[in-house]
């Protein structure tokens, strides 16, 4: 029994005593472990947070645009800035050559519809954005980013309206370009004994004088630049109210005033170069710079090309004026970037958009591009004399939207209008062009 008792003692008393000690040892061991684990967790957590804060994003970010070659330096400067902030992100600068996006837009359409969107892509504020990608529900609403970045305070309301529908804000503007600009070389004007035309009558008077000296009065390039010229001529003939009315469906394309646009346009085309269809916009600009042509009407990316690529000085090597008959009117367009639904590496795209909309991003990009920053706090000391004059006009002029660069009409109209232009170029018949334009306007939901 004793033994048993001992045993019992052993069992009942001693063994439990040993078990308790073991239990206590185990418990305190566990406690220590817990403390260590907790400390480790705290340290890991803190370090993790610190790491996350400084932790650069990774992966690829594809930026899609038509800013290739001569058009590339401004975008490259912006991308370089991004790379400095996020060195572990590999930025793919995907460009498709062709002024005004003539080729890029078609490639983009295939990719977007095929479910292969780039991280972000260049798109014009206005109908090109809204009528193409927003109605198709392919863009993410950026309202919260606008709030977070304070953009409601720094971007003009009218511009935000161009990027918005009642359901959201769909892209971030990087610039403001002016479409209705006449470019020339001041020294050549003196040499040829002509002034800068204030209106189209004056142009038509001096054009024969230039031709007699072997100079092309007005340099023109490939097809889209013809539409670009048309919008400046239309603005001169119609004025801002009727131009606006045309796109709101309140003025028919067959109205006598609009027919006058085609009549004048036909006269002007007589004074352009015959090889226009084979020239890029840069080559048309080159004709002016080289003294082969007197004038060119082009958006102010031409100023970017002449200063950044050709290293010319604004105001000395080249001059500018509103296109004839459009003094006091600023025909605007804005390039912007958005967030496509299903964009790869979404966080990297959001950081890109923040840079695109930032003061320092815009004041890096725009002085090279020939455009101005839409931000009200832009640092104008970084811009040349041309851009400063554009910034002043942007503040004081009557603002209207460009047709050739996606502001006032949707892509459907744009594509069909290219056909209308072809019809006019071969027939030179204002009535026929007016009828055709009215038909495509109705099809595109513009006319009545």
Which residues contact ligand GAL by CB under 6 A? 66-67, 71, 99-101, 177, 281, 299, 301, 333, 335, 405
Is 366 within 8 Å of 175 (Cβ atoms)? yes
Half-sphere exposure of residue 223: CA atoms within 13 angstroms, side-chain side: 17
CB of 357 to ligand GAL, least distance (A): 16
CB of 281 to ligand GAL, least distance (A): 6
CB of 207 to ligand GAL, least distance (A): 26
Helix or strand holding residue 398 (H, E)? strand 398-401
**Which residues, 6+ apart, have CB-to-CB distance to 193 below 8 Å?**
209
Residue 77: how many CB atoms within 10 A of its CB? 17
CB of 322 to ligand GAL, least distance (A): 18
Cβ closest to ligand GAL, residue 63 vs residue 264? 63
CB of 67 to ligand GAL, least distance (A): 6
Rounded to the nearest 5 degrees, what angle is found at the Cα of 194, between the Cα atoms of 189 and 196? Answer: 75
Cα maximum dimension of the chain = 138
Q: Which runs of E-coded beta strand occur in 213-362?
A: 216-219, 293-297, 319-322, 329-333, 335-337
CB of 415 to ligand GAL, least distance (A): 15
Residue 46 CA to residue 38 CA, distance in Å, equals 12
Q: What b/e string do you get for 251-282 counting C-beta neighbours within 10 Å, with b at 16 or more?
A: bbbbbeebbbbbebbbebbebbbeebeebbbb
The candidate with the shortest Cα–Cα distance to 384, out of 442, 286, 317, 295, is: 317
Cβ closest to ligand GAL, residue 188 vs residue 282? 282
CB of 308 to ligand GAL, least distance (A): 13
Residue nearest ligand GAL (C-beta atom): 99
Cβ closest to ligand GAL, residue 67 vs residue 247? 67
Cβ closest to ligand GAL, residue 66 vs residue 271? 66
- Cα distances from 232 to residues 192, 258, 295, 403, in angstroms, run 25, 13, 14, 10
CB of 301 to ligand GAL, least distance (A): 4
Cβ closest to ligand GAL, residue 33 vs residue 277? 277
Computed from CA positions of residues 376, 178, 278, 438, in that sequence, does the dihedral angle turn out positive or negative? Answer: positive
Cβ closest to ligand GAL, residue 95 vs residue 216? 95
């Amino acid at each position: 029994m004793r033994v048993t008792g001992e045993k019992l003692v052993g069992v009942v008393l001693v063994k439990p005593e040993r078990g308790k000690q073991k239990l206590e040892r185990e418990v305190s061991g566990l406690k220590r472990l817990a403390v260590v684990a907790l400390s480790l967790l705290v340290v890991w957590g803190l370090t993790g947070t610190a790491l996350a804060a400084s932790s650069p994003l990774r992966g690829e970010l594809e930026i899609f645009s038509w800013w290739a070659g001569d058009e590339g330096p401004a975008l490259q400067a912006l991308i370089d800035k991004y790379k400095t902030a996020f060195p572990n992100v590999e930025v793919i600068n995907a460009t498709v050559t062709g002024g005004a996006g003539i080729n890029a837009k078609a490639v983009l359409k295939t990719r977007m519809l095929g479910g292969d969107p780039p991280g972000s892509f260049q798109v014009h504020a206005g109908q090109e954005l809204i009528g193409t990608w927003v109605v198709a529900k392919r863009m993410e609403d950026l309202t919260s980013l606008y709030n977070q970045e304070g953009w409601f305070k720094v971007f003009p309301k009218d511009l935000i309206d161009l990027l918005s529908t009642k359901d959201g804000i769909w892209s971030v503007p990087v610039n403001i370009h002016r479409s209705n600009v006449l470019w020339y070389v001041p020294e050549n004007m003196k040499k040829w004994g002509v002034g800068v035309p204030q209106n189209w009558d004056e142009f038509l008077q001096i054009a024969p004088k230039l031709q007699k000296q072997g100079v092309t009065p007005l340099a023109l390039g490939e097809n889209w630049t013809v539409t670009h010229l048309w919008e400046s001529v239309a603005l001169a003939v119609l004025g801002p109210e009727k131009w606006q009315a045309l796109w709101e469906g309140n003025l028919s394309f067959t109205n006598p005033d609009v027919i006058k646009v085609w009549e004048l346009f036909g006269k002007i085309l007589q004074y352009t170069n015959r090889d226009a269809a084979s020239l890029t916009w840069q080559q048309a600009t080159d004709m002016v710079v080289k003294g082969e042509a007197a004038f060119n009407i082009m958006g102010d990316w031409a100023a970017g090309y002449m200063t950044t690529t050709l290293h010319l000085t604004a105001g000395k090597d080249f001059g500018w004026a509103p296109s004839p008959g459009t003094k006091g009117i600023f025909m605007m367009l804005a390039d912007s970037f958005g967030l496509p639904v299903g964009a790869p590496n979404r966080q990297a795209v959001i950081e890109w958009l923040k840079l695109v909309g930032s003061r320092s991003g815009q004041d890096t990009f725009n002085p090279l591009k020939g455009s101005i920053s839409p931000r009200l706090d832009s640092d104008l000391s970084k811009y040349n004399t041309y851009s400063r004059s554009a910034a002043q006009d942007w503040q004081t002029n009557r603002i209207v939207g460009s047709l050739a660069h996606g502001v006032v009409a949707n892509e459907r109209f744009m594509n069909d209008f290219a056909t209308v232009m072809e019809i006019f170029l071969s027939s030179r018949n204002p009535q026929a062009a007016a009828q055709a334009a009215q038909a495509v306007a109705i099809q595109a939901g513009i006319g009545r």
